[in-house]
Amino acid sequence: MKIPNSCRDISGLLLAREDRSLSLGERLAVRVHILTCRACHRFEKQTLVLRGALRQWREHQREEGDPR
């Protein structure tokens, strides 16, 4: 199996992480790549911001009162 190491591969794994658990090899590849790649580091931060925002959106749908 090809080791994921391009930014395209790594950001793909960062997105996949939201929907499935990564294998040990995949997690290692992500960690190693992000140590030296600012772009993927930023991309990871974005996925975390979005994860938090979606959680808040979900909670907002349950709350009383509706924005008009």
Partner 1 sequence: MSENAPDIASLARHLEALRPSLLRLAQLQLRNAAWAEDAVSETLLAALQGAQRYRGTAQLKTWVVGILKHKVLDQLRHHTREPTLADAGDDDADELETLLYRRDGHFQEMPEPWTDPCGELQREQFFAVLEACMEQLPARQGRVFLMREWLEIDSATICQELGIASTNLWILLHRARLRLRECLQQNWFGDHTS
Q: Does 49 sit near Zn ion (CB under 5 A)?
A: no
Give the separation between CA 14 and CA 8, rounded to whole angstroms.
10
Q: Is 60 exposed, middle or buried (0-12, 13-18, 19+ CB in 10 A)?
A: exposed
Smallest gap from residue 24 Cβ to partner 1 (A)? 18
Give the separation between CA 49 and CA 61, rounded to whole angstroms.
19
- Kindly tell me which residue out of 7, 28, 32, 48 binds Zn ion, with binding defined by CB under 5 A: 7
Q: Does 62 sit near partner 1 (CB under 8 A)?
A: yes
Q: Does 19 sit near partner 1 (CB under 8 A)?
A: yes
Smallest gap from residue 34 Cβ to Zn ion (A)? 7
